Structure 1
Amino acid sequence: MDGRAKRDLVLGGITIAAAALMTMTAGPALSANIQALLYGGEANQLLAVSAILNVALVLFAWRRYVDLRSESGLRKAAEERAAFLTLKDALTGLRNRHTLLSEAVAYLRKTAKRGRKAVLLLLDLDHFKTVNDVNGHAIGDATLQLVAGLVEASAPEGALTARLGADEFGILFSYEAARQDTVDAIAEKLIKDLNQRLDVAGASIHTGASIGIAKAEPGCETIEHMLRRADIAMFASKNAGRGRYHWFDESMERELNMRNSIESGMRDGIPLGQFVPYYEQQIDLATGKLLGFEMLARWEHPTRGVIPPDIFIPIAEETGMIADLSMSVMRQAFEEAKNWDASLTLSVNIAPSQLKDPWFAHKIVKLLVESGFPANRLEIEITESALIENIGVAQSVVGSLKNQGIRLALDDFGTGYSSLSNLRALPFDRVKIDRSFVTSMGSNAESTAIVNAITRLSDSLGLPVTAEGVETPEIEAKLKTLGCFQGQGWHFGKPMDVGQVRALLAERNLLPVRRLAAPAGERIRELRKAS
């Protein structure tokens, strides 16, 4: 028995005792005093005072008893609320993760006995952070409550529904083994409902959802295993473009393990210098002269060999390692390229996340100073998609780079964004035509027309053009007729490592000989000439 319960018991006892005492003393006292008043006798003042005190004590005890009963009721309601919160999600009223895990054990056992299949559907909202950022957390909470209602309404009878995380919901239910299409129908309905505009407290919300599905089967018999598999399948839905659902299969887990292995290897490999620059030639189409190189990153893995960027760049951007990787590779390239002929330029493509960094220009300048690479030989390539994401910061960064004499190129031009407005908004020195248009010029007249239009537009703005993806002599010839000035691609050679670049430059007399230390005899002759 706790302290409060003991206090309630004691106070109740006092109240009863006071009432009994009042009955024993106040009753006779009142009777005697009343008779004295009626028949002219003398009232007993002591008994009267005793009676009054007993009445006061009873009233006081009763008032305290009522107050404590009220407090006890409030305490009980609070305890019931606390118990509810341990079982339910406070915002949506659905089960929380802990409750789902607890109830799922019996549910899975019961489902197996009935000869049905158990399945877990895991739903994650696609753009919920944007909902909070744009509309505020009150609308965000209302959106979650609306989604919870849709989840509850879509769940079959007897299903266990839960809010598992910030914007993550789960439905554990059973189905006939031969009717897997019933699970697909539920997932499709949720995707359809959540891909529509939602009216939330007067705000028009669009979030969308991605779903992963995992069923109980040999090797996946517990709710923990099902949650893991459903999460992997949901991750696959996100990677496939969002707004869709996937059933788990073994290949997804292998891909996830491979991805995690790559991420772990990158965290070790960047500081160890395993990521190195490769160089793709940029050629003057009219004369065939080598104008410079575009720097590309490669991963020289100690056991797997050279790994191309399409394997590790997406993971680097997703995990936030892209800035460190880029700076590491640029430092190596600047150290090497400063010793090339002064006519050769170096182009570097930066990630969208780097352009959001207000200190990016400062970091580049610092790198140039430390390496000794001239700013006027550097060309920073910026994609249109990076500009769209944060045009305000981009303008500030670009202005700082231009002030240092660094040149700027608009990369992937013509891929569907507001290209002309970007050309007018920022002081670019060059336009690079996306390789998707260039490589298809030989078979697609529309691509040729687009390349021609971009070339003419750039020429009218006084901007030279570089065509990426020049892979055949025929494409090179077409580009020349269209007036394209510069090209790069496998037709001129595959990307080269530093040793291959040095050999090429030495062959073309573009690698000045560095006189590190003249022989003693030569130094003596120079001193004699000087004297």
Structure 2
Amino acid sequence: MSSRKRSESRKVDERLRDLQQDVLVAVASGAPLPSVMTLLCKRAETLAKDAVCSIIRVDAAGCLRPLAGPSLPQEYTDKIDGVAIGPMIGSCGSAAFLGEPVEVTNVKTDPRWRDYKDAALALGLKACWSSPIKSHDGRVVGTFAFYFKTARRASKLEKRIVESCTHVCSLAIEHWEAHDHIRKLAFTDPLTGLGNRAYLAEAFPEILARAKERQEPVAVLFVDIDGFRMLNEAQGHKNGDLLLRSVADRIRKLAKSQDAIARLGSDEFLIVCAGRKHRAEIEAVAIELSAALAGRHALESGLEVKAVASIGIACYPENGDDLQSLLGHADTALRRVKASGRADYAFYTAHMDAEKLAQRALERDVSTAAMTGQLSVVYQPQADAATGAIQGFEALLRWQHPIHGFVSPMIFIPAAEACGAIEDIGAFVLREALAQAAKWPRHLRVAVNASSAQIICPSFAKLVEDTLAATGVDPRRLEIEVTESLFIYETDAALATLRRLKEIGVSVAIDDFGTGYSSLSTLRSFPFDRIKIDRSFVFDMVTNGDAAAIVTSILGLGRALGRPVVAEGVETEEQLEQLRSQGCSHVQGYLIGKPLPIESYADLVAPKTKRRAASATKRAGAPKGSAAAGPAVA
């Protein structure tokens, strides 16, 4: 080799080393992969002056994804984007498929270019030499190609350039793949493949910036799957995960490319809708989403379930201009939907904030109600249905708010659970009820309601045991009443507490039976001592055949299980007679006695000697031929 050629070769080597160095610096600096590859193509074209350079990535599905081709028009690269590699897919698709260089010296006549030659020839590209870019483990991760404007082979210089460039391309693509994998782990929900909160935090500012520029609204749809925790508990976590994946797939199919979707946790999803110009379009998305999610979802072993979703919606610009504000308002709207008791969607309004503030005030007040003496306990008698003899009382909590007056337990108990005050309030009721029961005749029982939040608390059984010891009440006189909703969520914790109560000697009744998720499965979960028929069935049983049938079924179930049944809400003689005729054990309701302070039942709870004296006084004062005053049981 002449000295001139050796000098030229050294200069090429130096320029190639500079090229590699500049590309590696760009990679290390975190430049986007397309920008790095564009830099490489431009530098390669300065060395190979008669060539047009192209770099294409091969994705995990085996499809071509153009990365750079600065001298090629966008329309040309768009035509091959997403094309699957194969032995007859031009030079690049064939090289990627075969894993070896493919040199086509005449695009017009080579069969591998049959479907692509017109586009290449229109640009004056008559030959193409493509080499596979391989990772360190031998995978084909892309192709590096030189196009030529004459039908010819690649020169030695061009081959040297390609050899050097494919190596640095491999390093750049592998670095990008590793970074992309880490990014996906950081920004993707592993169960559904949707984005997570970190993804939302990054994507939302860009979506909002585009919306501001185009003066378009952005809607945040907060989606919650109703009853998911119940299904997860009943059908197992594997089926719960399958349902969440199915929901994610349906959301993904409905979303547009400009939307952002994320799973926030458990059964909560968020969709950021962009590109909808009017409220009607956003509402249409909510309606379509509700319909799609409400269909049947196939789970394990042929099981199918029907899911329904509640959706809360907040919109930019009227409801806020940052993610946290919009997410908070969408959550407020979602809570309104869920409080309505039916699956639906709702747009956030300022009125909902007033309701939220009122709810927070209620939670604040109820958290101090016990300490400020606003709570009291009233007692409603329970009688033997056949004889009318009073068997005991149910202790019922009352709250007299200093401003709002009487507040229904249906309102303040959920508030107490939400703010964490239910344990203190429950302990107050238990202490009050047992302190009163300690003064009664020993045959009278006392029933105390316990919320789900109390039962799943590990310390509840210990509280009961300690309070019984402190008051000296026989554990057999105490009955704890729970509802079926207890078994929807924390079944294991609930069962552990109930079993401990049974060990202490306390009886357990299932309250409002027939209104819960699955009455029969609930009875199977735990051997309850008594069953209480919900008052709604008793109220209608005389006039409504369906209600009467339900009452008859529950009474039959009680007999079959050997469990006494208590009918709540007995208000008329007709109801009482119908219950008696079907063998109902015990009754409770206004016909027997209203919930009143225990002083109103002094003649029933006084010690035996005092009750005899009171009875004699009543008989002496009663008109001749009248019965002595007593419980309202015929």
TM-score, normalising length: structure 2: 0.58
Distance in 1, matches of 2:517 and 2:416, equals 24
Q: Find the counterpart in structure 2 of residue 305 from structure 1.
A: 405
Aligned to 2:530: 430
Q: 1:384, 1:419 within 8 Å by CA — same for their partners in 2?
A: yes
Q: Which residue is equivalent to 2:598?
A: 501
Structure 1 equivalent of residue 506 of structure 2? 406
> Which residue number in structure 2 is paired with residue 97 of structure 1?
200
CA offsets, 1:85-104, max 9 Å, x none? 79965864759222344224
Matched, 1:188 2:287: yes
Map 1:96-495 to 2 at 5 A: 96-112=199-215, 117-125=217-225, 134-135=236-237, 150-156=250-256, 159-163=258-262, 165-166=264-265, 167-177=268-278, 180-196=279-295, 209-216=309-316, 218=318, 220=320, 224-241=324-341, 243-270=343-370, 272=372, 274-318=374-418, 321-357=421-457, 360-386=460-486, 397-415=497-515, 426-459=526-559, 462-495=562-595
Per-residue deviation, 1:442: 3.0
Alpha-carbon distance between aligned partners in 2 of 1:117 and 1:512, rounded to the nearest angstrom:
76
User: Does the CA contact (< 8 Å) of 1:120 and 1:171 recur in 2?
Assistant: yes
Distance between the aligned counterparts of 2:461 and 2:522, measured in 1?
Answer: 19
Is the Cα–Cα contact under 8 Å of residues 380 and 396 in structure 2 kept in the other structure?
A: yes
SS in 1 for 2:411: helix
**1:385 CA drift (Å):** 4.3
Task: Give the Cα–Cα distance (whole angstroms) in 2 for the partners of residues 225 and 201 of structure 1.
Answer: 39
The residue type paired with residue 510 of structure 1 is A
How many angstroms does 1:383 deviate by? 3.2
1:93-143, Cα deviation, whole Å (9 max, x unpaired): 75922234422442342343xxx5543323345577776994569x95x98
For the residues of structure 1 that align with 2:393 and 2:508, how far apart are their CA atoms? 15
Residues 191-239 of structure 1 show CA distances to partners (whole Å, capped at 9, x for unaligned) of 3333445569999796654321223465646555433322211223333
Native 8 Å contact 1:295 1:347 kept in 2: yes
Structure 1 stretch displaced more, 253-262 or 352-361 = 352-361
Separation in 2 of the partners of 1:171 and 1:390?
33
Q: Residue 164 of structure 1: CA displacement?
A: 6.7
Q: Kindly provide the CA deviation profile for residues 2-26 of structure 1, in whole angstroms up to 9, marking residues without a partner as x.
A: xxx9xx79xx9xxxxxxxxxxxxxx
Does the residue aligned with 2:270 lie in a helix, a strand or coil? strand
- Identify which of 593, 599, 606 aligns with 1:510: 606
Aligned pair in 2 of structure 1 residues 372, 273: CA closer, same or farther (>3 Å)? farther
Structure 1 pair 432–205 and aligned structure 2 pair: CA distance change class (3 A):
closer
SS at match of 1:253: helix
- State the one-letter code of the partner of 1:106: A
Q: Distance in 1 between matches of 2:300 and 2:443?
A: 62
Aligned with 2:383: secondary structure?
A: strand
Alpha-carbon shift at residue 79 of structure 1 (Å): 10
Residue identity opposite 1:501 in structure 2: I
Task: Provide the C-alpha distance between the structure 1 equivalents of 2:247 and 2:329, rounded to a whole number of angstroms.
Answer: 23
For residues 248-271 of structure 1, the C-alpha deviation after alignment (integer angstroms, 9 at most, x for no partner) is 234432322222222222333355
Aligned residues: CA RMSD: 4.5
Contact 1:118 1:174 in 2 (8 A): yes
CA deviations over 1:467-488 (Å, ceiling 9, x no partner): 1011234323433444434221
- Give a deviation string over 1:291-345, Cα, whole Å, max 9, x none: 3211122223333333211002223345554334322211122122211232321
Q: State the shift of 1:501 in Å.
A: 1.4
Kindly provide the CA deviation profile for residues 395-426 of structure 1, in whole angstroms up to 9, marking residues without a partner as x.
65444433433233333334476656766775
Contact kept in structure 2, 1:152 and 1:161, CA below 8 Å = no
SS in 1 for 2:264: coil
Structure 1 residues 437, 150: closer, same or farther in 2, change over 3 A? Answer: closer
Query: For each residue in 1:17-59, what CA deviation from the matched residue of structure 2 results, as whole angstroms up to 9, or x when unmatched?
Result: xxxxxxxxxxxxxxxxxxxxxxxxxxxxxxxxxxxxxxxxxxx
User: What is the percentage of aligned positions where both structures have the same residue?
Assistant: 31
Per-residue Cα deviation, 1:267-304 (whole angstroms, up to 9, x for no partner)? 33355554432222223444444332111222233333
Question: What letter corresponds to residue 478 of structure 2 in structure 1?
Answer: L
Structure 1 residues 349, 503: closer, same or farther in 2, change over 3 A?
A: closer
Give the whole-Å Cα distance in 2 for the aligned partners of 1:390 and 1:90: 25
Aligned residues: 444
Q: CA-to-partner distance for each residue in 1:353-404, whole Å, 9 max, x for gaps?
A: 4444565433311221123222222122233443576666666544443343
Q: Deviations over 1:452-497 (max 9, x none)?
A: 444355356554332101123432343344443422123344322x
Unaligned runs of 5+ in 1: 13-64, 515-531
Q: Do the aligned residues in 2 keep the contact of 1:354 with 1:360 (CA within 8 Å)? A: yes
Q: Deviations over 1:407-454 (max 9, x none)?
A: 333333344766567667755443322211111123213323433444
Structure 2 counterpart of 1:376, one-letter code: R
Question: Is 1:87–1:98's contact at 8 Å kept on the other side of the alignment?
Answer: no
Say whether the 8 Å CA contact 2:441–2:606 is kept in structure 1.
Answer: yes
CA distance in 2, matches of 1:398, 1:100: 48
CA contact (8 A) 2:218 2:272 kept: no
The verdict on how the C-alpha distance between 1:208 and 1:74 changes in structure 2, with shifts beyond 3 A counting, is same
Matched residue, 2:48: none
Q: Point out the structure with the larger helix share.
A: 1
Assess, with a 3 A threshold, how the Cα gap between structure 1 residues 334 and 268 changes in structure 2: closer, same or farther: same
Q: Distance in 2 between matches of 1:152 and 1:441?
A: 49
* AA matched with 1:478: Q
CA contact (8 A) 2:430 2:464 kept: no
CA contact (8 A) 2:439 2:607 kept: yes
Q: Which moved more, 1:345-354 or 1:270-279?
A: 270-279
**Cα pair 1:131 1:205 within 8 Å, conserved:** no
Q: Of the two structures, which has the highest relative contact order with CA contacts closer than 8 Å and spacing of 6 or more?
A: 1
Structure 2 CA distance for partners of 1:280 and 1:86, relative to 1, 3 Å: same
State how far apart, in whole Å, the 2-side matches of 1:424 and 1:84 are: 48
Task: Rate the CA distance shift 1:205–1:242 in 2: closer, same or farther, 3 A.
Answer: farther
Q: Is residue 214–residue 229 contact of structure 1 (8 Å, CA) maintained in 2?
A: yes
Give the residue type in structure 2 aligned to 1:110: E
